[in-house]
Amino acid sequence: MAYSMDIENAGKAVEIINQLAIFLRTARIHNISNSAVIAATDKFVDLVNELIDLEHTIVIEIRGEYLYFNANRIRYCPEHLLNLDYLIREFKKIEIGTIIIHSKISPEHIRIFIELFLKSDQSEAPFEYMRKGMSGIFCIELKKIQDISEDNFDRKKIARKTYFNAVSSYKDMFQKVRSDEKINLKKAKRIITSVIGQIIEQEQILLGITTIKDYDEYTYYHSANVSILSVALGRRMGMNHKMLIDLGMVSLFHDLGKIKIPYEVLNKPAKLSESEWSIVKNHPKWGVKSILKMRSLDPLTMNAALVAFEHHMNIDHSGYPQIKHRGELDLFSRIVSIADQYDAMISKRVYTKYPMSPDKALRELMEKSGDKLDSLILKFFVNMVGLYPIGTLVVLNSRELGLVYENNQEALHRPRIMIISDNNGNWISGPVVDLKEKNGNSGYLRTIIKTMHPKQYNINLAEYFL
Ligand SMILES: [Fe+2]
Ligand SMILES: [Fe+2]
């Protein structure tokens, strides 16, 4: 399930990495002011700046024996083999694991990088030496190489970290907006970049984590979940890296207008009155105001404002706010509205004692297909979360009880299940079984008979997914 960069961009990615190796190799042989080094550096800068416009961020990473460019593994071809190999060896020596280029660079930045690179062998802590030297250059970030065995050992841990980082930085941003402080959008972009990386690597694990809800901090968790679901959906629809970053940022801010809803209304443990409900319905409009106040009117800001405004509108123009001029809803708005409704339905809220089970929520969304929700995008969504979304409680014909743990893309009705109660009714935690597994007579070992509501068994999903 590889995320595919545009073919043209993939070609540029190889060229950029190759060029990086060329100027470092040349600089090792000659000195830094040699004309071949300068020419190679200039070419690298041009290539990077051209691609930054399209992909927003460039992440070059070493994992094991491979190089990755914006989470795509670089395929070795004979003409580049020596250069790529050189790069991996040199970076491992210095312990550089990742180079992130956040914005356009200049030849001067690269000259500093080369100087540090050449001198780093004399340092006892080469990575720290390089990072310190680069600390004033904000467009380039270096990360230390990770222990790959540990990386494989606990991939879930990394997904978890990405998730909680997203929640806590959203909380931080939300509070800054509330107190009229400037927020750091670069940080948000970094978070989204790592979310995208995780979705490419382990979509199902990250989707599993979004089933975790926190009732008191609903808005923060909800915003992170909607952003993760939207980005995952965008990737399924074939969006490129830049579009995914934009979608991630825009969806993160969809409910920003909620800061203006009084606490007693937002957290009322009972049904809202007519007048309270009309206050809530203002949050799309307030969202637009807060977003526009946040920064200059660039296209991303405008898009975020539009999505904040449209995310409760339906494609048949029902929903809110009601407006006179009815055009087609923005693509991002249509995506965010599906992610938003799904996450809201399966979340426990102050006023709903029990959230809806994920499969029921999916069925409700499917009923709105075509008139309220975009049917094509919804199809991608169903394919992504599966017929039995992660976290659904199922009864098996083996008389075991289990939670959907991961989807099987080739057989959406036969997901992988974590058994939580054995056929004698004893509560257990695992194993994870595959419903595609067959018995000797070519029948299936286990099959889902029906789904149940977790409330009937008082099951806390977080216990199983954390
Ligand atoms: Fe909303
Ligand atoms: Fe929302």
Q: Domain spans of the chain? A: 7-151, 154-385, 393-465
Ligand 2 centroid distance, CA of 222 (Å): 7
263-282 CB burial, b ≥16 within 10 A, e <16: eeebeeeeeeeeebeebbee
The whole-number pLDDT of residue 214 equals 64
Instruction: Please list, in sequence order, all residues whose beta carbon lies within 8 angstroms of the beta carbon of residue 212, skipping any fewer than 6 positions away.
Output: 163, 221, 461, 462, 465, 466
Would you write out the chain's pLDDT as a tens digit for each of its 466 residues? Answer: 334 456 667 788 989 999 999 999 999 888 888 899 999 999 999 999 999 988 888 999 887 777 888 877 787 676 787 888 889 889 988 989 999 999 999 999 999 999 999 999 888 899 999 999 999 898 999 998 874 444 444 677 788 888 888 888 888 888 888 888 877 788 888 889 989 988 887 888 888 888 766 666 788 889 999 999 999 999 999 999 999 999 999 999 999 999 899 988 888 888 889 999 999 999 999 999 989 887 666 888 999 999 999 999 999 999 999 988 778 999 999 999 999 999 998 876 656 667 788 888 999 999 999 999 999 999 999 989 888 888 888 999 999 999 998 888 778 889 999 999 998 888 887 788 999 888 877 789 999 998 887 777 777 676 676 6
Kindly state the tokens that stand for 210: 């979004």
Kindly state the tokens that stand for 341: 């409704």
- Contact (Cβ atoms closer than 8 angstroms) between residue 156 and residue 418: no
Q: List alpha helices for 95-184, DSSP H.
A: 107-119, 126-133, 148-153, 155-178
- Angle 185-209/218-236 helices, nearest 10 degrees? 80
Kindly state the tokens that stand for 105: 């660079």
Ligand 1 centroid distance, CA of 150 (Å): 39
Give CA–CA dist 323/155, Å, rounded: 46
Give CA–CA dist 323/461, Å, rounded: 40
CA dihedral 409, 410, 413, 418 (to 10 degrees): -60
The whole-number pLDDT of residue 3 equals 41
Give CA–CA dist 179/176, Å, rounded: 5
Ligand 1 centroid distance, CA of 284 (Å): 7
Ligand 1 centroid distance, CA of 311 (Å): 6
> What single letter denotes the amino acid at residue 229?
L
- CATH for the stretch 154-385: 1.10.3210.10
Ligand 1 centroid distance, CA of 256 (Å): 8
End-to-end Cα separation, the chain, in angstroms: 24
154-173 CB burial, b ≥16 within 10 A, e <16: eeeebbbebbebbbebbbeb
The whole-number pLDDT of residue 213 equals 64
Q: List alpha helices for 56-106, DSSP H.
A: 81-94
Give CA–CA dist 160/293, Å, rounded: 32
The whole-number pLDDT of residue 1 equals 30
Give CA–CA dist 150/262, Å, rounded: 46
75 CB neighbour count, 10 Å cutoff = 11
Ligand with an atom nearest the CA of residue 283: 1
* Placement of tokens 């004033």 in the chain: 136
Ligand 2 centroid distance, CA of 457 (Å): 28
Ligand 1 centroid distance, CA of 320 (Å): 10
Ligand 2 centroid distance, CA of 225 (Å): 10
Give CA–CA dist 52/15, Å, rounded: 14
Ligand 1 centroid distance, CA of 391 (Å): 24
Ligand with an atom nearest the CA of residue 342: 2
- Contact (Cβ atoms closer than 8 angstroms) between residue 26 and residue 40: yes
